[in-house]
Amino acid sequence: MRFIRLFFVIVLAIVLIGIALANRQDVTLNAFPANFGQYLEGSWSIQLPLFLVIFLAIAFGVVIGFIWEYLREAHIRRQSRQRATHVAQLEREVSTLRDSHAAPRDEVLAIVDRPKAGGAVNPPRPIASPSPAPGTTLPAPNAR
């Protein structure tokens, strides 16, 4: 990519130097039409090489284009700032809600976890007994 950019700059420089060498003659640049300048008193014209007039016109057009685009996109930048502010506000709100609801307790779990009124807590019951329940054993295999 760097090579392509360097190649483009070199070609552009060669073309601009060629234009400058081909257009070295002086031209008169007038700021106002011929008859209008006499009412303003003074000389409103300047002698410049033609290539300089061409390059200044291109530079002036580029600057005007940049300013035009900057003004045209002002509403987009304003909308982007407003949305960024709104996103920051929502992130703060979510952070606050996460902090306030860090360990939410379910109402059903709160009732189950509450100790009984008698004060004595029943010891935990064993989940499984050491011997199998009746009727749950497999029949003995047939001996042949």
pLDDT at 48 over 60: yes
Instruction: Name the strand (E) or helix (H) holding 1.
Output: none
Cα–Cα distance list, 17 to 62, 82, 113, 136 (Å): 19, 47, 88, 100
Label residue 126 exposed, middle or buried (CB < 10 Å: 0-12, 13-18, 19+): exposed
127 in any annotated domain: no
Label residue 50 exposed, middle or buried (CB < 10 Å: 0-12, 13-18, 19+): middle
- Range of the structural domain that residue 22 is part of: 11-100
Number of domains in the chain: 1
Over the stretch 72-116, which tens digit does the pLDDT of each residue have? 999 999 999 999 999 999 999 998 888 777 655 666 766 676 666
120 in any annotated domain: no
Tokens 């064993």 correspond to: 126
125 in any annotated domain: no
Over the stretch 16-44, which tens digit does the pLDDT of each residue have? 899 888 888 999 888 877 777 667 777 77
105 in any annotated domain: no
54 in any annotated domain: yes
- pTM (two decimals): 0.52
144 in any annotated domain: no
pLDDT at 45 over 70: yes
- 71 confidence band (pLDDT: 50, 70, 90): very high
Q: What is the average per-residue pLDDT within 121-138?
A: 64
5 in any annotated domain: no
Residue 116 CB contacts under 8 Å (≥ 6 apart), including other chains: 122
**Whole-number Å distance between alpha carbons of 63 and 59:** 6
Instruction: Name the strand (E) or helix (H) holding 140.
Output: none
Q: What is the average per-residue pLDDT within 113-121?
A: 62
143 in any annotated domain: no
